[in-house]
Structure formats: C-alpha cells, structure tokens
Structure 1
C-alpha cells in the first residue's frame, strides 16, 4: 500500500474515531433526570411522558430522562423531597400534609389534572341515582389508603350524609377481583379513578357514574413537583422537562392512536390483551383520552400547566374540611407559576402537525 493510501486510511480512521467520540460526548452531555410517575405500571394514560421521551422532546431540551414508576403519589413526593429524584408527578393530599408540617421540601410547578380523577359508579340497573341514596351502602375502593376513600367521604358529606355512619368502604383491589366483587354485589358501588373505570368496561363491566357536585369534581389533582432548592437553582431543567411534557400532551391529543402505540412499544405490559388489534387500539385510545380530557380546562387558555391559585385554595380547604390537613397552608408554599410562560414558548402548531403526519402502521 502506498504511503498516500495509508495516510488516507489513517485520516479516515481518525475521522471515524472523532465522530464516534463526538457522538458519545453529545450523548453524555445530556443531563440525567429522574422523573417519578405515581403508578406501579406506566400505561397509555401517561402517554405525554412516554411520547416526550420517545420522540426526543426531553433530549431536545438537553435531558436524558428516566421515567420511574413508583407506588403512588405519596411515594413520589417523599422520594423527590429526599433528593432521590429531580421531578415527580403526584396528587396532592399527603404532599400537602408534608409541606405544611415542613417534612417535605417540595412545591408544585406545573399542573397536569384540572379535575380530580375519582368517581362513584354503580351497575346500570342500580336504584342509586343520587349521592343521597348512598345511605347505608357499601362502596368498593382499591384499598383503605386510597384517595378514593377521601373523596367518597366528601361526596357523602355533600349529600348531607355522615361518612362515618351512613356509608362503609370495602377494599376490593383492582382487576378481576374488583370486577367480581361488583358483579356478585359484594358492594353497592365503587369509587375508582377514570382509567380504572374505562378498563372495567373492557372487562365487560359497564358502570354508570353517579353525579357529583361540580365544586368537588373540578378540584385540581396531579401536578409536577420538585424540591424548593431545585426550583431556585435549576429553573432551566424544570422548564425544559415541563415543556417536553407539554409537547407530549399536544402530540397525544393530535394523534392519540400513535401516542398509545408509542406507549405500548415502550411498555409492552400495558398493551390491551384484546386479540383484535383494531379493537385493542380503540380501547387504548379510550383510556388515553379519558385521562387527557382532564389535562386541560378553559380556565388556562393556551397556557399548558398553569396552576390556578383560586382552585388550589379550594383544594387546600377541601383537605382541611376532610381533616386531612389540620389547618390551611398558604398557597404560595404549595405552588409556583414562575416557569409557565417559558414552558409554553415553543411552536405548538409544528408539534401538532408532526403528530398528525405520523404513520401509525409503522408503530404497530
């Protein structure tokens, strides 16, 4: 081999090495972030997070995000406060108790759910039509520690009932156990979250929801939280994470079929067991859109994630009334809206356009 050819080969090899190193450095340059999801198994109800990761929205902001499923909102809040994760999605309640007591050093910075996810549901032929008709009835909940019991008591109080005497709660778990308990009428109704009720339907258990007062239905629920020192010292990261999630929501709403398939590809265990692929996808979309339907409200206009002081004050008072909180906590200790303008500074139309162009046949 001539010296010229050898030199060219060396240059080519050097170029390959430099390119590889550059790619590695680029990948390593992404800041690692742990984001806690308050469920044991991530499914299509959480597609905005999965889409944000799989479509590269987190990476575009400069972050390598690991989605970690945890046992629930309480665990999410505790682990973030302890510094074991940078961001967590969590329902209020125990988090508010921890904030008030000073045991949890956290604050919410981006809203996700603008209505609570809990409903009372009964069999279609049940004589129960109103909350007042729950007197003397047994209501099934996932567990006695479920937030469903808190909302069940509140729903009873709204109807003038004594939740300690007039209704009783029975833990019936989830899945087949819960379905069997309802079918065999071991309970008169259930208090479950939206996605669970949708999945009951796909198991052949179609339930009818009992109307609840709007002031309770519209209480805010799950939002993103972080440590107070993170909010003060790393606003860029929190803004970027929230912006990527907002993009994931836009994508999911513009093309829910693709969002569901992307989630199932990342988490195969979440996929519907229906052997009919078309029917399975329809089921997934129902669960997805049932949850994403509460990710927005006319109150926030075009500002994804806006936390509304008045609604959070109502939520705080709700927990005081339910004796979850011993006294009200100032709302500015609970939420901050300092990132919302920057979070929403992106080309939403472009995200929506790209989502609509996605070929779902390539995702199946």
Structure 2
C-alpha cells in the first residue's frame, strides 16, 4: 500500500497536476431522507468563474438537474490535484480529478489503490502551446531544449511537454520548466523572454490574451491532439455502494454541460446568480461577460465530443484511449514495465455508469437551453 509519504513522493516524481479540472468529493448524507446528498466539488482551478458552468448550470432551481437526482454540489477549494488525489487515496473524499501521468504509476505501485476513472468531463484535448508571434518555435518539436513556462512546478504542462516530445521521438532532458503563474504574470514572462513558450490549457492561454498579450498557437502533434484532457475518478468502493448518487451526479454534469455549451450567455448568468462573489468588482457586467465568453470560446467546444468520435456518449472513455495513456505514462515515468504492472486497463477506467448517465432527452435539454431566460 502507498502511505501518505510514498504517495507524495510518487506525485513529485511524475511532476504533474490537472490544475483546471474540478475534483468531486462526497459529503456525508443529510440526516433527512428527503434532503439531497451533497457532493462537494474540490475546486483546484483557483478561479471561481463561469469556466465551471458545465457543472454549476444545473444547480439553478429553474433547471434542477441535480435536485431531480437527489443530489447537489458544493464547491470546496483545494490547492492542487495532488491534494485531491491524496484525499481520495486516504478516503477523506470520494471523488477527484485524475491525471493519467500520476494515476497510472500510482495504481501500478499499489494494486489496492481502489480508484477508477468513471467519467470523462473534457473529451477533447484542451492543452495548448503558445509563443510570441515572432517566435522561431513553429512546431512542437521545436520545444526541445527550450524554457517552458508552466503555472507551477506541479502543473500538468510539464508532463504535457514530456508527452508531446516523446511522441516525436525526442526527450526533455535539456528543457527547463519555469513557474510563471496565470494571466498577466505569465504574459510578462513570455514578452520579457524569460520563457520561450508556455504550455497550458485553453482557458489559461485565453487569460493571457485577455490582458493584451498577443499569442501564436503551435499545433499539437496529431496523435496527442486526439487524446482527451480530463477525467473524474471515484473510489471503486463508492461505485459499488452508492451507484445511484454517482449516476445522478454525472447525469447532472452531462445535462449542465449540454446546457452551457448551447447557451453560454445564460450559463454565465446562472453562475453569477449562484455565486455572486465570482462576479468581477473591477469591471462592468458587460466587460466581465465579454471576458468570460472569450476565455470559454475554445473550452466550450472541448466540453463536447468530436464529430468523428465513434462513441458519442457523454462521459465515455475507450480501451484504446487508456492503453495509450498507459504507454505514455510508461515513458514519462521511465517504467517500461508499467503496462504489465497495470494489466487489463479495464481496471483503471469504467464505462459502467455511462449508459445510465446518458439516459435523458438531450434534445429537450438543448431546447430548454435555447429558450431559457433567467
């Protein structure tokens, strides 16, 4: 078994985090049987704004996507995915974000870890490589040996860069990873030539652009571009003992995602109504709305399946996808035996809930979103 110290060492060894991904934690049931079960959202994004509308929209009483399932969600701040995964491992929480580069090596080291990826919330690749418009970096291969800006030393940008270079037959042994933060500080690091490129998420790059820093986007390698970005992990014990709550949670997220994608403007209104403290105090409402719409211009598409996906079910993963995740994690963790240690990838992910999660009228949700007025 991995104790807390060994688990933290494992996290440090792989140096990855899924900073923008919300982790989900199950609170204790309410004493009154008629009250919803509260599902706590461990917000590792560090920003409580409408980028989280794919979860928050369904909380509004006029929609009631979670309430109708007997559940509700509540945000709790966490510092990182490392904290969320540690809490999952020690059974302090029941849900959390999963980064394959951390999760798979940890699962290989401890077959009794008891975690499984149960819902893919970000099916498209939301990672981006950005440089100054005049940068000599034209392709992902040009990242080799460069100074790479990442949000922090526990940021997923590190593993993303390693993975990208590995796909191209290169390594990152001569790269430097420099913490640059978000928004204006990250933009300044790039414009002042303290880093050669920034590897981040779509929303992170948009926040840099929002402060007036022009960026050029470098294409991702083809194979990597097809891999999803975000999964939600649950305890296998919870999957067995509280299946109904998980189905309700993920169905609520699926409906919220569809609503927010269809009518982002109203999803922003809903988020502000539910979380008034998230509304900018230094900008007019119109300015704040335009900023959020810009930040989410790419993210809202990445919430949805690709047109060429063979499996259109919301939240579904595939064996091929997780086999690819294992291969990549074997390279980044420098463990050639990882695939053998993991064994059947069906042990690290499941689609067991997905048919039930998708058992709702999607056309009705889209229609409701188009007609909705707060």
TM norm structure 2? 0.82
Residue 137 of structure 1: aligned partner: 146
Q: Choose the corresponding residue for 1:252, options 260, 280, 299.
A: 260
Q: Distance in 1 between matches of 2:310 and 2:42?
A: 25
Shift of 1:269: 5.0
Q: Distance in 2 between matches of 1:229 and 1:51?
A: 29
Residue 30, structure 1, aligned to residue 36, structure 2: yes
Higher-Rg structure is: 1
Shift of 1:25: 9.3
Residue 354, structure 1, aligned to residue 364, structure 2: no
Q: Choose the corresponding residue for 1:173, options 176, 181, 185.
A: 181
User: Which stretch shifts more, 323-332 or 339-348?
Assistant: 323-332
Equivalent position SS for 1:112:
strand
Residue 43 of structure 1: aligned partner: 49
Shift of 1:84: 2.3
Q: Distance in 2 between matches of 1:270 and 1:29?
A: 27
Residue 222 of structure 2: aligned partner: 214
Say if 2:147 and 2:177, in contact at 8 Å, map to a contact too. Answer: yes
Say if 1:114 and 1:218, in contact at 8 Å, map to a contact too. Answer: no
Equivalent position SS for 2:208:
helix
Shift of 1:256: 0.5
RMSD: 2.4
Runs of 4+ with >6 A deviation? 24-27
Residue 204 of structure 1: aligned partner: 212
Q: Distance in 2 between matches of 1:280 and 1:169?
A: 32
Equivalent position SS for 1:283:
helix
Write out aligned runs for 1:227-242 (5 A). 227-242=235-250
Q: Distance in 1 between matches of 2:45 and 2:167?
A: 29
Q: How many residues align?
A: 336
Give the direction of change, closer, same or farther, for the CA distance of 1:160–1:225 in structure 2 (3 Å limit): closer
Q: Distance in 1 between matches of 2:83 and 2:167?
A: 30
Say if 1:47 and 1:288, in contact at 8 Å, map to a contact too. Answer: no
Q: Deviations over 1:260-296 (max 9, x none)?
A: 2222333345445773433431321232342232222
Residue 61, structure 1, aligned to residue 52, structure 2: no
Write out aligned runs for 1:1-364 (5 A). 28-54=34-60, 55-102=63-110, 104-165=113-174, 167-271=175-279, 275-295=283-303, 296-298=305-307, 299-323=309-333, 327-328=338-339, 329=342, 330-359=344-373, 362=374
Give unmatched runs, 5+ long, in structure 1: 1-23
